[in-house]
């Protein structure tokens, strides 16, 4: 197997699920342990200025081997995997020379990858796929990105005949819970621009993403014996139902695509006395994003007017913004990656991210940072898979980006 595959298989053995509720940085200790191992690996392959901290941020440098002054390029990936599905005990399966049919992930549980449900499978007939065993996610988001960056850097160290300017590598924790850039020191990193390797299928190149907010809604009810409840009981669960009914029914993830935004109820729990809900609010357009947040606030005001002050409590915070505003002035950064893909025989798929990456926040912190594919599909669940050939192409693209940076004037 190729080096990038071997690395990937080693990385996914390590459970690094982030935890949105821990309040710690990093949110789980396993991320810090894994980050320390990555730092040692970066030293072992020959990178310099390798540094890590107690929050699981890793940075390293591959020095320039040319005399000319060219921009410093960075490559960024994250060490955590999503808490949406278990990342512990990942047991990958190989499907060689995929024939276009169903792939049995777990016969005992009847779990399979069916091209009728996942038609993107058919793009990879004849290739080798790495899948889950149906019990965990795979971890290509973003351990494929980690493996691809480290493999590309090792190749450059071993092939000094390939000329390049200074290159920076940065690995972050807690991207999956929106905290990946919280303690990222852009000045210390020292790159003029960078690329996150955190995208999906081969060819993806993204420099637009959602504007994002997170909302906690707490509804306070009043419990009274149901036999004597008339004009006294206030069911927080029924108020929550009214809240949900006042949101646009079709503006939810399963009914939206492309540039369409949404409200997503992520979690709900309650009794008569108290109900708690957690939402994410998303839109690419900033004005529509603000209108979505305003709608949430207006629903809260309406219900408090109807049921009494303090019935509904709202805690809503912005998480990140659309990087497009920061990328537009430096579109040559996108062109470098686009031309790199084309040189590697890949047709770029330029599209807006229906989500976010560390690159969105880093762009607002002064580090323009588009997103490049890793090759993975169906992230965050048991149907996740990644074609080996896509991972190998991602390594080629990193190497070609490094080469293209020298053409920037």
What's the pLDDT tens digit per position in 336-367? 999 999 999 999 999 999 988 899 999 999 99
Domain end position, chosen among 289, 320, 351: 320
Amino acid 409: pLDDT: 66
CATH number, residue 242: 3.30.70.360
As for how many domains the chain has, the answer is 2
367 and 309 in one domain? no
- HSE value, Cβ hemisphere, 13 Å, CA-based, for 365: 20
Q: Can you give the residue range of the structural domain that contains 248?
A: 211-320
From CA 5, how far away is CA 373, in angstroms rounded? 16
Are 111 and 195 in a shared domain? yes
Task: Pick the catalytic residue from 15, 80, 204, 251.
Answer: 80
The predicted structure's pLDDT at residue 355: 85
Q: Any long-range contacts for 95-102 (C-beta under 8 Å, 24+ apart)?
A: 95/128, 95/129, 95/130, 95/131, 96/128, 97/126, 97/127, 97/128, 98/124, 98/125, 98/126, 98/127, 98/128, 98/129, 99/125, 100/125
Task: Quote the CA–CA distance of 128 and 133 in Å, as a whole number.
Answer: 16
73 and 186 both lie in a single domain: yes
Instruction: Give the pLDDT confidence score for residue 311 in this predicted structure.
Output: 98
Compute the half-sphere exposure of residue 396: CA atoms within 13 Å on the CB side of its CA.
19
Question: Catalytic one among 41, 148, 174, 175?
Answer: 175
Q: What is the pLDDT of residue 356?
A: 82
Same-domain pairing of 204 and 219 = no
pTM score of the predicted model: 0.91
Q: Which pLDDT score is estimated for 278?
A: 97
User: 123 and 45: one domain?
Assistant: yes
Residue 71 is part of a domain; what is its CATH number?
3.40.630.10
Mark whether 266 and 287 lie in a shared domain.
yes
Catalytic, 192? Answer no
* Co-location of 82 and 175 in the same domain: yes
Do 121 and 270 belong to one domain? no
80 is catalytic: yes
Confidence at residue 297, expressed as pLDDT on a 0 to 100 scale? 98
Among 296, 320, 344, the domain boundary falls at 320
Q: What is the DSSP letter of 97?
A: T
> Are 195 and 262 contained in the same domain?
no
> Do 274 and 377 fall within a single domain?
no
Q: What pLDDT does 1 receive? A: 63
The reply to whether 82 and 97 lie within a common domain is yes
Q: Which segments of the chain have a pLDDT < 70?
A: 1, 409
Residues 275 and 221 in one domain: yes
């Amino acid at each position: 197997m190729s080096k990038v595959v071997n690395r990937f298989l080693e990385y996914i053995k390590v459970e690094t699920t982030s935890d949105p509720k821990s309040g710690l940085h990093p949110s789980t200790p396993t991320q810090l342990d894994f980050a320390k191992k990555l730092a040692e690996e970066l030293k072992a392959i020959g990178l310099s200025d390798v540094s890590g901290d107690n929050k699981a941020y890793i940075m390293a440098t591959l020095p320039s081997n040319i005399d000319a002054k060219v921009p410093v390029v960075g490559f960024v990936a994250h060490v955590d995997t999503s808490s949406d599905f278990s990342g512990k005990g990942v047991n990958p399966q190989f499907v060689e020379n995929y024939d276009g049919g169903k792939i049995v992930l777990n016969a005992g549980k009847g779990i399979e990858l069916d091209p009728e449900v996942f038609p993107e499978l058919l793009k990879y007939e004849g290739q080798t796929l790495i899948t889950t065993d149906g019990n965990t996610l795979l971890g290509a988001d973003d351990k494929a990105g980690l493996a691809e960056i480290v493999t590309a850097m090792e190749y450059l160290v071993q092939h000094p005949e390939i000329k390049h300017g200074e290159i920076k590598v940065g690995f972050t924790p807690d991207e999956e819970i929106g905290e990946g850039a919280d303690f990222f020191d852009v000045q210390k990193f020292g790159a003029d621009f960078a690329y996150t390797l955190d995208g999906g299928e081969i060819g993806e190149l993204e420099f637009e993403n959602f504007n994002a907010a997170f909302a906690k809604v707490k509804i306070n009810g009043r419990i009274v014996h149901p036999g004597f409840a008339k004009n006294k009981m206030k069911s927080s669960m029924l108020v929550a139902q009214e809240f949900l009914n006042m949101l646009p029914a079709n503006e939810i993830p399963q009914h939206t695509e492309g540039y369409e935004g949404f409200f997503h109820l992520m979690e709900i729990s309650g009794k008569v006395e108290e109900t708690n809900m957690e939402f994410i609010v998303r839109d690419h357009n900033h004005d529509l994003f603000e209108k979505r947040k305003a709608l949430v606030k207006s629903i809260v005001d309406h219900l408090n007017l109807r049921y009494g002050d303090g019935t509904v409590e709202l805690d809503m915070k912005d998480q990140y913004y659309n990087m497009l505003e920061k990328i537009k002035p430096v579109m040559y950064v996108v062109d470098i990656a686009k031309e790199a893909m084309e040189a590697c025989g890949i047709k770029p798929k330029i599209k807006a991210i229906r989500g976010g990456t560390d690159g969105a926040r880093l762009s607002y912190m002064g580090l323009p940072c588009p997103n490049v594919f890793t090759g993975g599909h169906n992230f965050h669940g048991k149907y996740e898979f990644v074609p080996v050939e896509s991972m190998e192409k991602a390594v080629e693209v990193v190497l070609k980006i490094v080469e293209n940076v020298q053409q920037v004037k």
